[in-house]
Amino acid sequence: MIFSIGALLLLYACMREDPAYFTHKPVISQDVDTDELEYQLVWSEEFNEGRDANGKCALPGDKWMFEVGGHGWGNEEEQYYVDRVLGTDTVAKIKDGVLIISAIKLNTPYEGRKYISARMNTKEYWTYGRFEMRAKLPSGRGTWPAFWMLPRNMQSVRDGEIDIMEYVGAEPGLVHFSAHTGAYTPAVGTGKNARIMVPDCETEFHVYAVEWTEDYIAGFVDEERYFTFMNDHQGIKDTWPFNVPFNLKLNIAVGGSWGGYDGIDDTIFPATYEIDYVRVYQRIP
């Protein structure tokens, strides 16, 4: 039995391995030098850390920083974000090659909040590239997982936001992509966004990705492009702030102005967001 399990795990690991670079068709139809289509893997988190000698799961390491707090995060969210562990509860751990971010309902509220979760960010920032995550999304009314990007020293929506994947548990199967700027924001009815049905997103892993260049931002699920936002090349920050380094963010919010618009089902907890890998590719000069 031990040999069989080991062999299966080895086979699975080999099946998941990607080449060091790949060729990707440009979104815009134009003549482009072939070299410009090659992307190199420049950063990745595969979450392959094993358990310790006592069988305890590993925690995300030094590639990540965790935000903490329970002030609503601008969206009236109900959770308190903690750094990996709170008491006997773990909100971010690595198990069997997968990062598991959990939203947990507490028996005793913490800092006035009855839910805890994780909001984790890459320490590294990038300008342009293909950013992707292979993940299985949490289910249940009140969950609001995301895979997204913000610039360093974010001050307002004018600085830009790229939401590669957002999902609201009250709308099963409906995945969203958005790009926010000062001029293009849902707050004034000009949001740049799209949505796509992924019926089994809660039970199967899918790849959620953005291709971000100086000309466009494009959103994908499993290589199907369903969102494109073009740079108007006017040099105006309110319409295109996407020319500075951004980092990647992973989190599950609970409730909030969008995630909790239909209430929170307290029977669903703990809710889990499972991430197989996060990878960053950039074009070879």
Find tokens 């740049």 and name the residue.
Answer: 192
Residue 48 in contact with residue 98, Cβ under 8 Å? no
Task: Compute mean pLDDT per 10 residues along the chain, 285 residues long, and list them.
Answer: 38 40 47 61 96 92 97 96 98 98 98 98 98 98 98 93 98 97 89 96 98 97 96 96 98 96 97 98 87
For residue 3, the model assigns a pLDDT of 35
Does an H or E element contain 226, and which?
strand 224-230
Assess if residue 17 is contained within a domain: no
For 154, the domain range is 42-283
Asked whether residue 21 is assigned to any structural domain, the reply reads: no
- 213 lies in some domain: yes
Number of H helices, E strands in the chain: 1, 20
Average model confidence (pLDDT) across the chain: 89
How many other β-carbons are positioned within 10 Å of the β-carbon of residue 131? 26
Q: What is the domain count for the chain? A: 1
> Would 259 be classed as within a structural domain?
yes
Is position 166 within any domain? yes
Residue 263, domain member (yes or no): yes
Burial of 15 (0-12, 13-18, 19+ CB in 10 A): exposed
Backbone angles phi, psi at 10, to 5 degrees: -65, -45
Q: What is d(CA 93, CA 100) in angstroms, rounded to the nearest whole number?
A: 5
CATH code, domain carrying 75: 2.60.120.200
CA separation, residue 139 to residues 17, 97, 259, 267 (Å): 28, 21, 12, 11
Give the pLDDT of residue 54. Answer: 87
Is 106 inside a domain boundary? yes
Overall pTM > 0.85: yes
What is the reported pLDDT for 247?
Answer: 98
Q: Tell me the three state secondary structure of residue 164.
A: strand
Residue 22 lies in a domain: no
Where in the sequence numbering do the catalytic residues fall? 161, 166
Q: What's residue 27's pLDDT? A: 54
